Chain A
């Protein structure tokens, strides 16, 4: 899959960042507008896939040295931990907490434990998708 398409590689670099930041936005905004952990994670993954297509796995790996299986595990733990945390406080499994804060610069924002859970989902989706792509791509 080694190509030397300069234009593709150049564009891919820029588009990667666009998609990546868009995905973060989508993920963050998910609670109020369309988006969320799934879409965010998939978009991030697709951004990385774009890099993989434009360069190759080795290059991408050296640029983004992430162990995706660990990322999956972290995501699962995060999600499970968020869900289980209320049990320590004597609340049922999966109780979420939220409140609104006035933060400087950002204005009125909500902070939400569901966000953490969604973060777990995000990590799992990125992790699994990239694990799949990477293992298939590496296999000869």
Chain B
């Protein structure tokens, strides 16, 4: 129970943020917010020891019991690891943001509310065992990410980036929902645990592949895999703490999480192995290749994140291979899943610190354009140290944690060529090659990032601010992360036993009976293995290419702009915009009369169609009231009045015609025994005429109707059709009384129960009092509307553009 509440703590805390922001002006709101993730991190840390033994914790909070929907918090190795990342990195990011965002200039309450909302959403994603709530939290992360990217909403680029990420990730989320629903239909349960337990049966189901592809689409869009990665570089418009948090450490890993979580269900499929590994590897290569092209510091990091996410994804795909190999626990394939989780942790540490450094450089120099930067090493030595640690780890050099996971990655890729199912025996050789090439580019952009910023020529004239070292508070968070980067290299097995193995156990539950059974020991040195030679090759080729970078970087511009995915996205969005606009403009002419024409035609078609289809039209004279002599006279008067109103050439005549009709209707009420109606109608008609006369001077004169013949004909046809339809309905209603009137009840009870005599009035104030209540409400609204239209005139001003 309380375990579920932990998920919602950030969201509840968010309620107080605006008040704190308003009332406590002197203290940066971030200090209050910091307490939330820090507390949660400590709470989750207490679970570590038990979860490392293989225990799981489950708590449930019913949400919509009638639909079997509940919020479930399920903590096993995998979700605990993610929860710790979310709260741990979250604390560091909040700490960093306190120094990054100015408390006077920025709308901190917005920022922290969104951030806390995101925290809840993300904790919900990784802990939910229930498919529907998982989806709910999933989309909530997209929404909070949208809000955070668009935080500086007066910038065009922010809004564009926010919208792009929203469209792509929410679109993917919808696909995923489809996959979830298929899973539910197949397994008849929303619980992921139960679905995993029945995985072998699910596989036989014809919808299995569909749900697999749909869920993967959700994961790929969220984790910025090829070709959906295009939203991530644009998301860099967000404030840097957000980029460090959402777009490198946590949210983009939700897709990874999803793939890892569903591996036990889908890994049996050949398609899964191919898609996850292939797309991951392609993304790895693509991201690293294009990272070198970027000139924006955060752009480089964005593409690098894309590429690293691809790496983890491909490792998870390779980890799924273990499901197809007999005795997998003893073979080399077991490394893949371990490496995936291990690299996920490492990536969060070094990429988080790098983003923070990019933010620091932006903050201190005023630019993130790498062409303007250079030679900052002596000015910002601390930042340089942290950046160097981060980039070397990213490049896969010892003694940093990236080296370890990079080695394991190469091991996993090398082993894929020995895998002899699904055609891997022919294509498998490509995997290590692509991995190797991508690693070279990773090496290059890592060096590019750090050396083009911190070494080289110092160009103060190109920098908006005079640079100096960042305040120490801002450096604390990246330094802590950098410390992790180094520490993990020296104690990989402690991290492995406490965090990675329980998570691997969650991904491959069939292979092991407890996390302790996973006999993987991470070593920095494992002899003169192929992996080591590959690494040496990476460093050699990487250094060569990096030195020659200025010579070949221009090649990127040869890549035609028209063929990029971004261009493709823009074209689609523009095409949708223009195309749909054109389609709707076909019928949305802006002319009220056309719309009315549609409506009336629709009514006629539907009603007459129903009459025909249901064979509802009947006609009989039986039961008709006798023809009233006055009635006939009134009908004649009524028709005359209608004709006057219809054909009148002047305003006055038309109004008189309408008035005549109104009074005749009142007389009808008289002869049909409806005294209340007659009274009301008479008075209303009088007041209406007075109203028309009051407004008379303001009203336009009736012009001659100059219509095009075609519209006139349409108009005549439609009006006759409506007339005929109403007549038919009235006749049928008269001719078939299926049930007796419920008025009998009113007649019987009006005196005894309601204490009244006038049934109509009693119905109004008592039996159907609700109608009357709403009616007077409507009447009041009409009155207020009129008052507003006349008294409160809008002054015509051009609206201010929202861009500053």
Q: Which residues of A does B touch, CB under 8 Å?
A: 26, 30-39, 42-43, 45-46, 49, 53, 69, 72-73, 75-76, 79-80, 83, 94, 96, 98, 100, 110, 112, 114, 117-118, 120-121, 124-125, 127-129, 131-133, 135-139
Contacts and interface: CB of A to CB of B under 8 A. Distances in A.
A79 B773 contact: yes
B757 A32 contact: yes
A76 B783 CA distance: 13
Nearest to A121: B776
Contact of B676 (A39, A79, A96): A39
Contact of A135 (B680, B754, B764, B790): B790
A23 to B, nearest CB: 9
A137 B761 CA distance: 32
B612 interface: no
Given A46-B683, A114-B762, A139-B790, A33 B757 contact: yes
Interface in B315-355: none
Nearest to A100: B755
9 contacts: A33-B758, A36-B676, A36-B761, A38-B680, A114-B765, A117-B769, A121-B772, A131-B786, A132-B783
A128 B756 contact: no
Contacts of B783: 69, 72, 127-128, 131-132
B675 interface: yes
Contacts of A32: 756-758
B790 A42 contact: no
Contacts of B776: 75-76, 79, 120-121, 124-125
A83 B235 CA distance: 54
B780 interface: yes
A39 B698 CA distance: 29
A45 B687 contact: yes
Given A39-B676, A96-B766, A30 B779 contact: no
Nearest to B698: A139
B445 to A, nearest CB: 68
Interface stretch (B176-184, B475-483, B565-573, B689-697): B689-697
B680 A46 contact: no
Given A34-B679, A38-B680, A114 B779 contact: no
A42 B755 contact: no
A21 B761 CA distance: 20
B22 interface: no
Given A43-B683, A76-B777, A133 B691 contact: yes
Contact of A30 (B761, B769, B773): B761
A110 B758 CA distance: 14
A56 B756 CA distance: 40
Given A42-B683, A121-B776, A133-B694, A112 B769 contact: no
Given A39-B679, A42-B683, A135-B790, A117 B765 contact: yes
A72 to B, nearest CB: 5
Contact of B754 (A114, A120, A129): A114
Given A125-B779, A131-B787, A35 B676 contact: yes
A92 to B, nearest CB: 11
Given A34-B758, A114-B766, A127-B783, A26 B690 contact: no
B643 to A, nearest CB: 28
